[in-house]
Each structure stands twice: as structure tokens, then as C-alpha cells.
Chain A
Amino acid sequence: MTNATIVGLTVRNGLGSRRAVMLVVLPVVLVGLAITVRALVGVDADATEGVMVGLGITVILPLVALICSTSVLAAEVDDGSIVYLLAKPISRHTIVVSKYLVAATATALFIALPIMLAAAIMTGELRGAIGYAAGALLGSVAYSAIFLLLSVVTRHAVATGLVYVLIWEGLLGGLLSGVRWLSIGHWSNALAVSITDENTLPDAVSPAYAIIATVVVTVAAIYLAGDRLRSFRLTGDE
């Protein structure tokens, strides 16, 4: 289902772009904030949730995934070089899965590790670190697929992705409790909390639901992206 040449080309070109700077800046901000808060207020459950969930999982995780996913595909769609991959007798799903593998791996590296570090600093516990890292991994899996789909559906993948992150995951996810069933951020959080804390709220999303929902969304998004790529239009200048 994957093609080594595409994975190689993607790693060399997609992640070599200037956007990669943001991939370093965002995690550094998170870890820096974790160090500052820990130094100022010590180990504090509310502060930990504020930094790890409010900033880490809700904001930085989707932004990193957005940068990674659009770097591996949207850039090629933009400049037209995707045509060299598409004018080949290769299944479109193989192309998408190869791209997805790079995007999801990069996202996991650039966000799950910093989140683990930040959680370790803030909670001072291994369990806290593992819990938030697991949540971030789950989010990486789903967000990467969603943003990869956006990259082939619209030429404005970055803008659309930002609107989705800010409005759906950020604003509505905080205001309407029903959104948690359809929010990747809430699923990540549910998995993280289920590991870090025994006393989870009874109406929270169960970790099993979070994992199943993530798998369903990921598989569906990758399938749709591949199908969409079969109908890719190379628009000329006319």
C-alpha cells in the first residue's frame, strides 16, 4: 500500500520546506510555557490542564498536523509538480497512503515528543507524560488524515484547516458539549485523561470510543483522498 520512492521524495521535498521552521517553533513554545508555569506555580492540576489541553492538544497539535500534512501534498498540488506522481501507473490510494505515512510520522515526532516532555515537566510523573503522549499520538493519526484530505479537496487547504481548527475544534468544541463526539481534540483528550487520571467524568468520551472513532475517520479520509486524487484536474493557464 505504500511506495518507497514516494515516501523518499516526500521526505526530501515536503519537509525540507520553509514551513518546517514552524514545526520547531510551536513545540518549543509549548515546552517553554510548561517550564515557566512549573517554575511559577509548581505542580498544579488546573494549570496542567490549561497548558496541556488548552494549548497543547487543542491548538498546537492540530497546527503541527496541518503544517506537516499540507507540506507533504498541498505544496506539490500548488506548484503542479504532483503531476509527476500522478502520471504514473500507481494506485492513487498508494500515493495517498505513502504521503499519509510521512505526514503522520512527522506530526507524531514533532508534537507527541514535545507534549510528552511538557507533560513530564508539568506533572512530574511518568504516567502524566505517557497519557498526554498517547493522546497526542491519537490526534496525530486522525488530524493528518483529515488535513491530507483537505489538501486534495481544496486549493486553500491551509486556510480551510485553520478555520476548522479554530471554529470547530476550538470554539464550538468548548461551547457545545455534543461536539465532543465529533471532535478529534476531545478524543485525544479523552485518551490522555483516561491514562493520567482514574477519576474521569462519567459523561466523558470513553477511550474505546475515541480510538474507534479515530480509526474510522482516518480510514475514511484516506480512502476519500485517494478517490479524489483519481479525478485530479491539472488546470492549465487557460
Chain B
Amino acid sequence: MSELVLQQVSRWYRNVVAVNDVTMTIGPGVTGLLGPNGAGKSTLIAMMSGFLAPSSGTVTLDGTPVWRHEQLYRQIGLVPEREAAYDNLTGGQFVVANAELQGVADPNAAATRAIATVEMQPAQHRKIATYSKGMRQRIKMASALVHDPTVLLLDEPFNGMDPRQRLHLIDLLRRMGAEGRTVMFSSHILEEVEQVASHIEVMVAGRHAASGDFGAIRRLMTDRPNRYLIRTDDDRSLASQLIGDASCRGVILRSDDGLDVEVVDFGRFAVVLPQLAHSAGIRLLEVKPTDESLESVFAYLVSA
């Protein structure tokens, strides 16, 4: 069980601030680092993996600063974004070399295990130069797992993967998290994070914009309009009730049945809806948020 702690971490390049006063704790389980390109995700991962010194603040792994402490790499597995690996080697040789460099007791056995974990046995005797993007990603993953690290850091691991490889990686990351490893991966694609991460850290323009599970992030945004689908036994009657209340800004009657409701005051809406329905004798059949996807939350965060 390992814990990465960032304390008031900032990083600037001359007069450009890449990461601005970020404090977060990454514990066991899968954490998604979400943000648009240029939000400072790679800079943050570089600092977490000891490849960049914070301009101010500290990054520690179980209490030890990561910067200039190469012994910490016993615990850390890093999957960098860049594709370059040792193209002249076969995938198998590359993973064995990584095991040897990590100083594991039986490099060949460890490599065999790691290659099996990423299901690269069929291609392990081919040169890395012949690999597709997704295969490179998996062999990089195997090289990061070969020493059984407690912390796994992945920079944009889903880039260039086809849907099948994507599902495989999602499954793999979930398994790593369930085993109690501290897994963090960055992504600018929302559905990826939503599918894998039990915990999400959102970066926007170098700032730590939000933190928590998806619902917690969502609740931070009660001041933005939320959309709901409501089905009742008398849609038109409820529509007239709702539009009369300050918590709603718009109601649309669907052509099939049901109401699309745009809510501006979530707290008030939650209280008023059952009261209105009850007093008008309307039965609520279904109340469902329709934009509860990370995409809409993210779009909101970015535009804010």
C-alpha cells in the first residue's frame, strides 16, 4: 500500500506556469487524472515519477521525496507517453532487460509473468519495431509491471489503442487497482476515466479543478443547469407545475412521452418536485439525470 502526496506543488517554465499550487493525495485504487491537453497532466506525472523537480512544494511517496531518490523506483512502475522503446530488441528481451535493471531475483520468470499479464505472449519474439501502437503500449506496460510495483503511473495510456485493446487495458487497470496498487493514469478523454477510475482528479489550466468520485465532482456543480428526464402518468400537468417554480428554467414535452426538464437550482428542485407531484395527484414513474456524464461536467469545468 503506497501513498503519493503532493503538497502545494507548482511548476513553472520561466514565466509559464504549468502546474499551479496542486495539493492531492493518491492512494490505493485507480485514480484518473483528467484534463484537456495542456492542462499540466504530463508535468504532474513527471513530478510524481521523479523526472521533474517541483518549482515549489513537495512530492513524496510514503514520506520520501521522489526527486533524486532513484531507490524509490523499486516501488514505482512508469509507463511514459512517448513511444520510443528499444526497437532493435524483441518485446521479450525488452521486458527481461527491464527486470534485470530492476534487480528482481529471477528476471526471466518475472518477464514471463508480466508479458502474460498484458497478453503479449504471441508477439514476444518479434522486434518492437514491428509492433502496432497498442502492442507497444502493452509491452511498455509489461516493462513497468515486471518488478511488481506498488505504484503505477501511466501517461495517456489509451492513446492510439483500438476498442478491443482499450477494453483490455481498462480491465487490466481495474485489476491492478483491486489488488491494492496505487494506480494513476492521465487522459483527456472522458469516457476512459469514467469507466476505469474510482477516483478522479481534474486539472484545468494547471490548476486542480476538482477531486473525488464522479458523483462528488458532479455535486460541486449545483449552480449549473442540470437536465432531467421525468416520466409521469400526466406529463403535461406536471410540466405546467414545474415551469411555475423558480427551480426550473425550461420544460419540454417529449414526443413519445416524458419531460425534459432543465433545472437551475438543484437543491430546491429535489425538494419541490415530489411536493408538486403529490399536491397535483401526479404519479412520478421515473426521474433520471440525462447529462450525468463526465463529458458534460468536464465541458462545464473547462468553460468556467
Residues of A within 8 A of B (CB): 3-6, 8-9, 12-13, 16, 79-81, 83-92, 230-238
For chain B, the count of residues having a C-beta within 8 Å of the partner chain is 38
Contacts A88-B102, A89-B102, A231-B53 known; A9 to B86 CB distance under 8 Å?
yes
Binds A, one of B67-75, B110-118, B256-264, B282-290: B67-75
A6 contacts across to B, CB distance below 8 A: 101
Checking A8, A16, A92, A233 against B46 with a beta-carbon cut-off of 8 angstroms, the contacting residue is A233
Indicate if the CB atoms of B82 and A79 lie closer than 8 Å: yes
Interface residues of B in 25-81 (CB under 8 A from A): 37-38, 40-43, 45-46, 49-53, 68, 70-74, 76, 78, 80-81
Indicate if the CB atoms of B85 and A236 lie closer than 8 Å: no
Could you pull out 17 A-B pairs where Cβ atoms are within 8 angstroms?
A5-B100, A9-B97, A12-B86, A12-B89, A13-B88, A13-B89, A84-B86, A84-B98, A87-B73, A88-B98, A88-B102, A89-B102, A231-B68, A232-B51, A234-B52, A238-B18, A238-B37
Answer yes or no: B187 CB below 8 A from chain A CBs. no
* Cα–Cα, bound, A89→B147 (Å): 11
Which 6 pairs across A and B sit closest by C-beta, in order of nearness?
A236-B42, A234-B51, A79-B84, A80-B82, A5-B100, A88-B101
Additional A-B contacts beyond A5-B100, A81-B85 (8; CB < 8 A)? A6-B101, A12-B88, A80-B84, A87-B50, A89-B72, A89-B102, A236-B155, A238-B43
* Cα–Cα, bound, A9→B101 (Å): 11
A83 shortest CB reach to chain B, Å: 5
Inter-chain CB contacts under 8 Å: number: 92
Answer yes or no: B103 CB below 8 A from chain A CBs. yes
Residues of B within 8 A of A (CB): 18, 37-38, 40-43, 45-46, 49-53, 68, 70-74, 76, 78, 80-82, 84-86, 88-89, 97-98, 100-103, 143, 155
A231 shortest CB reach to chain B, Å: 7
